[in-house]
Amino acid sequence: MNTNNRNSIYKVVTVGLLGALVFVSNYLSIPIPVPVGDISRVHLGNVFCLLAGFVMGPVGGGLASGIGAMLYDLTNPAYVASAPFTFLFKFLLAFVCGIIAHSGKLSGNMLGSCKISTPRYFVAAIAGSVTYIILYLGKSFVTLLLEGSAPEAAAIALVTKLATSSVNAVLAIVISVPLAAVIKKALSSTKLSV
């Protein structure tokens, strides 16, 4: 098997593995009631969305993140209608993280192209998380307005969603950055390249 085929297989497998981690980690959650509209959750899914961006770069990481999160939504009746938005928003979370971590390259891997730089990784994780929060809150606000909520009631519901999204973001940043460094170190001691 030539090197290009082997690397392609590794990339597909890694996208699948990271997507599965995103999917499963979404089940590790604590539901938080919202005064108006649906529910919000504190969960570990965003940890692996950011990790996907670090490991795979913006495109591969975005696919793993979006697919894993979308599959979670499709298996939970409360979130089925949001699945397309979830795919896009989680894709962009990992994409923004990956593009910053990989210095603007659209594809990347944890071996050669991405040097661990703690400040850059924190900036990448923060930027990805903020991107997601803005998209999620914007969609939530518009949805509440379309469902007939008054703008004031929608804004009140967003306060709870902002709080849980912020907790998710902090957890994701604090866990994913050191975890990415550990994975890079582990991968560098192998001959695997994703």
Spatial neighbors of 181 by CB under 8 A, at least 6 apart, are: 116, 118, 121
pLDDT of residue 118: 78
Residue-wise burial string across 22-52, b where 16 or more C-beta atoms lie within 10 A, e elsewhere:
bbebbeebeeeebebbbebbbbbbbbbbbbb
Least confident piece of the model among 14-23, 31-40, 42-51, 142-151: 31-40
**Better pLDDT: 29 or 110:** 29
Q: Where are the domains of the chain?
A: 3-26+42-188
pLDDT band at 107 (very low <50, low <70, confident <90, very high): low
What is 3-26+42-188's CATH number, 3.30.565.10, 1.10.3720.10, 1.10.1760.20, 3.30.2350.10?
Answer: 1.10.1760.20
Short-list 152, 164, 167, 137, CA closest to 36: 152
Residue 102 region, left (φ>0) first, then alpha (ψ -120 to 50), else beta? Answer: alpha
What pLDDT digit, counting tens, does each position of 127-164 carry? Answer: 999 999 999 999 999 999 999 999 998 898 899 889 88
Structural contact between residues 48 and 26, judged by C-beta atoms closer than 8 angstroms:
no
**pLDDT over threshold 90, residue 185:** no
